[in-house]
Structure 1
Amino acid sequence: MPTEQTESTRAASASVTGYRLILPDDWAQIPLRHGTEEAVRRILDEAFSRIPPGSPEDKIGPYKRELERRFRAAVGRAQEGKALDLYLPVRSVGNANLGASIVVSESRLPHRRGQAAHSEPTDVAMQLLSSDGAENADLSSGELDGALAVRREHIADADRGAALGSRRVEYVVSVPDDPDRWFAAAFSTVGGGDPRDELAEALVEWFDAVMATLRWRRG
Structure 2
Amino acid sequence: MAQLPPGFPKDDMPRARLRLTKELQQTVRQARKADGLTLYLPVERMHGVIIPASFIASEPLRAPTDTIEPEAVLIDLARDSEDCSVRELDGTASLRTVKKVPADPDEDIDVPSWRVQYTVPIPDSVPAQWLTFSFSALTAPDMEIEFTETLIELFDAVMTTFRWSYAC
Any residues of structure 2 matched to 1:21-170 within 5 Å, and which?
46-47=1-2, 50-51=3-4, 57-91=10-44, 99-105=52-58, 106-111=60-65, 117-128=66-77, 133-134=80-81, 137-160=82-105, 161-170=108-117
The sequence identity of aligned pairs, in percent, is: 35
Scaled by the length of structure 2, the TM-score of the pair is 0.80
Q: Report the equivalent of 1:40.
A: none
- Give the aligned residue type for 1:142: R
Count residues in correspondence.
161
Seen in structure 2, the aligned counterparts of structure 1 residues 54 and 139 have a Cα distance that, compared at 3 Å, is closer
**Contact persistence 1:165–1:194 (CA under 8 A):** no
1:168-187 to structure 2, matched below 5 A, reads 168-178=115-125, 180-187=128-135
State the AA in 2 paired with 1:169: V
Paired residue type of 1:80: K
Q: Secondary structure at the match of 1:123?
A: helix
Distance 1:202 1:75 in 2: 24
Query: Does structure 2 retain, via aligned residues, the 8 Å contact 1:140–1:152?
Result: yes
Q: Which structure has the larger Rg over C-alpha atoms?
A: 1
TM-score by length of 1: 0.63
Q: Which residue of 1 aligns with 2:159?
A: 211
* RMSD of equivalent CA atoms: 2.8
Structure 1: give runs of 5+ residues left out of the alignment: 1-45, 112-116
Match of 1:189 among 127, 137, 142: 137
Asked if structure 2 preserves the Cα contact closer than 8 Å seen for 1:169 and 1:204, the reply is yes
Change (3 A) 1:129 1:88: farther
Deviates more, 1:159-168 or 1:197-206: 159-168
Q: Is the alpha carbon distance of 1:194 and 1:167 closer, same or farther for their aligned partners in structure 2, counting shifts above 3 Å?
A: farther
Question: How much does 1:56 deviate?
Answer: 5.5
Change (3 A) 1:165 1:69: closer
Aligned to 1:32: none
| Greater RCO structure (CA 8 Å; 6+ sep) | 1
**Alignment-derived partner of residue 41 in structure 1:** none
